[in-house]
Amino acid sequence: MAGTGTITEQGITLSGASYAVAGRPILSGLTLSLTEARIGIVGRNGSGKTTLLRLMAGLVAPTEGAVRIEGADPADRKAMLRHLGILFQNPDHMILFPTVGEELAFGLRQMGESAERAAAAVDALLAAEGRAHWAKAATATLSQGQRHYLCLLSVLLMRPRTILLDEPFAGLDLPTQARLARRFATLPQRLVTISHDPAAVATADRVIWLDAGRVRADGPPADVLPAFTAEMARIGEADADADLAG
Ligand SMILES: Nc1ncnc2c1ncn2[C@@H]1O[C@H](COP(=O)(O)OP(=O)(O)OP(=O)(O)O)[C@@H](O)[C@H]1O
């Protein structure tokens, strides 16, 4: 995830955003303006990373405060098609169609493209990716890494300004991780990468460390990641499970 500086737009803003379930705070008073091109969000299991992603994606609404994506409410699905793409950790949650071609065309059809134009855009993308033979391939026969890559292609076809990546390298072998990382590095979009792994965000422009639903540190990776890594090692040496119940 190589940092390429700042994408000058409104970006993603959180203003005192909190999220609670049955009165239990999961995210507390987050105020952030995310305009950089490469943003990493790190935190240990249960720190609230996925909940933050769901908040930014409009899948849940903040119980207090506000979230805006390029000035728009993330619950506005139509606006979000252009603003935001999401690559979930598990591609099985995203793939709906029997063939790669149908899967890729779906997002464009959602955006109002005709069947012919969508099919042409899918064919052009697959040809550009050296995977023209994939168009009629059955999605069920793809490997985990290939399914992940297919989901990325689906998102790219829709040309959103920002892509949210949830643990993008989890479960992928090292060559697939390297190939995906190279692909991410070339993308003009703003990438927000959520991971428990400092290596996944080491080249970001900005890293936010989430701890128990709050921002514990926010800055360049060289400032944030050594402290995060030291703290994770310290907790691991103590008893990693002691606060799992929390
Ligand atoms: N809908 C919900 N109902 C109750 N508790 C929830 C809900 N969503 C999240 N939580 C709790 O909020 C906390 C943060 O969860 P979240 O999945 O956001 O963490 P995370 O940082 O993504 O963790 P991981 O790295 O394990 O995926 C956890 O304690 C989780 O149990």
Other C-beta atoms closer than 10 Å to the C-beta of 108 total: 22
| Residue keyed to tokens 């903040």 | 62
Say if 117 falls within a structural domain.
yes
CATH of the domain at 101: 3.40.50.300
Say if 106 falls within a structural domain.
yes
- Which atom of ligand 1 lies closest to the CA of 210? 21
Within 6 A (CB) of ligand 1 lie 21, 26, 43, 45-51, 196
What's the domain count of the chain? 1
Say if 15 falls within a structural domain.
no
- Domain containing 166: what range? 37-50+74-238
Say if 210 falls within a structural domain.
yes
**Cβ atoms 77, 158 nearer than 8 A:** no
Q: Ligand 1 centre from 26 Cα, in Å?
A: 7
Say if 214 falls within a structural domain.
yes
Q: What angle do CA 2, 232, 242 make, to 5 degrees?
A: 145
| DSSP string over 21-60 | ETTEEEEEEEEEEE-BSEEEEE--TTSSHHHHHHHHTTSS
Return phi, psi of residue 243, to 5°. -110, 20
Query: Which of 19, 42, 49, 208 to mutate for ligand 1's pocket (most ligand atoms within 8 Å of CB)?
Result: 49
Q: Ligand 1 centre from 214 Cα, in Å?
A: 13
Say if 23 falls within a structural domain.
no
Query: Which of 51, 89, 90, 93 to mutate for ligand 1's pocket (most ligand atoms within 8 Å of CB)?
Result: 51
Residue 147: which of 132, 166, 133, 134 has the closest Cα?
134
Say if 20 falls within a structural domain.
no
Q: Average pLDDT of each block of 10 consecutive residues along the chain (246 residues)?
A: 57 96 95 96 94 93 95 87 86 84 90 90 90 90 87 89 91 83 90 93 96 97 96 82 53
- The pLDDT assigned to 193 comes to 95
Residue nearest to ligand 1 atom 26, measured at CA:
45
**Buried residues in 44-75 as b, exposed as e (16+ CB within 10 A):** beebbbbbbbbbbbbebebeebebbbbebebe
Q: Ligand 1 centre from 4 Cα, in Å?
A: 31
Packing angle, helices 100-110 and 144-157, rounded to 10: 30
What torsion do the CA atoms of 96, 91, 208, 59 make, to the nearest 10 degrees? Answer: 30
- The pLDDT assigned to 246 comes to 47
- In this prediction, the answer to ipTM > 0.90 reads yes
Please name the residue ranges forming H helices in 59-131: 77-83, 100-110, 115-128
- Which atom of ligand 1 lies closest to the CA of 48? 18
Which H or E run contains 19? strand 12-21
Say if 5 falls within a structural domain.
no
